[in-house]
Structure 1
Amino acid sequence: MQSVLPTRLVIDLPNWVGDQVMALPAIQRLVDGNAGGETTLHARPPGRRLFEALFPSAAVVASPPKASPIASARRLCRGSGRFDVGITLRHASRAKICLRLSARRSLGSDGDGGRLLLTERYPVDRSRHQVFDADPILEGLGLSSVDPRWRPALPLALVEEGARVLRQAGVAWEGAVGVAPSCARGETKRWPAASYGELARRMRARGLEVVVVIGPGEEEVGRQVAAAAGVPLPIAGAASDVAGLAGVLARLSVLVCNDSGPMHLAAAVGIRAVALFGPTDPRRTGPLGDRHLVLSRDLDCAPCRAGCCPVGSALCLRELPVDRAERAVFQLLDRG
């Protein structure tokens, strides 16, 4: 496809926080490449404020997660009509239907109905890290491949907001170690709350400030970690959206986490992560950069990429030793 930029461009963004963060370098290429044109980002409500902060030159339209493709297309086209070019960074057929209705030329992956629904389709190389999924689209538009080293500049207002959230939770000083026990996509991707609690107890015993980082609706797992620790632990983030969570993470020194949105968000804002992997493949969805440590167990069945453990034991994460996570935290702290 010959480049058509600058133009009226709509970019349909992923649903899940981790996928949104991994798409940021591609979004940056597209927004910059369409300078002089008109760019609209189609997001989900929890991520709207983050995209508005990171890409102020673009308009952001938010559709509810359960909105039909027709309703989302109407919301996107309200006032100005259909876009000249549309790109979806989601692979679902619903996203491609919405895009076909919203734009005269539609680009996306060739799976999940892409061959029928889109005017231009591109293959996804799943042997590479997910951050590169949009490279064929960028190439087709005459743009450079994503730079996996690119990091967004988080506005100072969000960093200060994160500091306020931590202070209100009772975190006494900056540079605390965070533990993020949640994961929105599958119980098998979660290290047990009891293990997070034991890790927090050990770090507190060694003089570290520890905070449990959660999101809306995750209060119960936060309480489980605090109870397992057996010592008072501040819990922060229950009222934060994605932008607010980015601000909270930006004030930490290290985050211990599952393969999750907070893991990718921490890496994006420059915070070192101890990432705990079980059924998923860190070569595909691991934290980007060399400042992080990925822990996993060497099992024949891992990574299986299954949402439900096929052997019923979930040993890949359930029996990942707390000792290893503790050593990894201090290894990252010792690097300075």
Structure 2
Amino acid sequence: MARQLDGLVGYIATPVNLPCGLMARLRYLTRTPHARQAARAAGLVVTERTLRLWLGGVRSPSRKNLERIEQAYTTVRRENIARYLTARLNREGRGTRVEIHPLNQSQVDGPRQHVLELRTLNVRRWDRIVAAWAAGDGGELGRVSKVPGGGLWGMLDNPVAAMMSVMDLEPQTDLARHYDSGGWLARFAGRMLVVCPRCGGRALVIPRPGIPDPRYFSELLFQPRRLACGGCGAIDGWKPEVQGAGLVGAVLGGSEDPFFQRPLWLQTRCAGHILWAYNEEHVDELSAYVGARLRERGGARPTMSMFARLPAWMKGSDNRSEVLAGLEILRELAKRTAPADRSDAAHERGDRPRAHRSMYFRGGPYES
């Protein structure tokens, strides 16, 4: 839970042991008298002279002080963002959806495996959860999550074999600011909604069951895939091309999925263009960005960011209301599965990006 909440907060991406990362944290902790007091309360107890020497670059903090600075920054940042985060997740009583994903059980003996599936629930009151997270109290955070009748893990038959992710159920159009942490499109490639090649209904493209969980989002482009339709039972498989000791990955982009070249289910016409998304989480992220009045960019490689690569017509303020309306259409399409619900824009278009044949090398032979 704490990791998921941390993911909603725009922390400084540059490490504290680099000069620019250190300066950014020190300025954050010393910008006002209140910030200095909060930093001292968080454990950064040094003299004003030492702070001036650090800020002036005359003296560098020791390793122990670097750890204190990082801890103080994380604590103060959490406290400052807690009120905003609570309002964002509560959303005036509408709450925020939580997805509970089954963990990979491929290394578990057959008799001990549990039949698990993706679960979702809507949490409407986040006050105690965010308060425990902001205070860094892991014990309280665990207790709050297990409140009888209202706990998160109480909704699961086997809470040990699951991991949780938090996402907004609706676009964050009420927020004036959006922070781009530099994440790229591959983070939404784990689950894609596509048009079934047999019945024309909604099918799902996911990594083949039983393979290890990826360590990085980029590994999702090289994992064997399975296409499955719950309507007609159609099933198909995909494996990356093998070249020597490496694998040739799929290329993201365009209105077709990069593995089976099927049209994406989430497509609609918008502002004279085609608006598309891979899944509901992708729609939510786009809504948060488009609806924001102030957009901030971070990360070491901003040009790899999904938002930096969006077309100009999606970023312009003139099209904001139309794009948000289009995203609402995609959100409704995600709830439908029948062939009759298919969007008139969801057909083969041949707009896949040029293949750059990225390679992935493993330490040993690849087992498909």
TM over 0.5: no
Q: TM-score, normalised by structure 1?
A: 0.25
> What TM-score do the two structures reach when normalised by structure 2?
0.23
Q: Highest CA radius of gyration, 1 or 2? A: 2
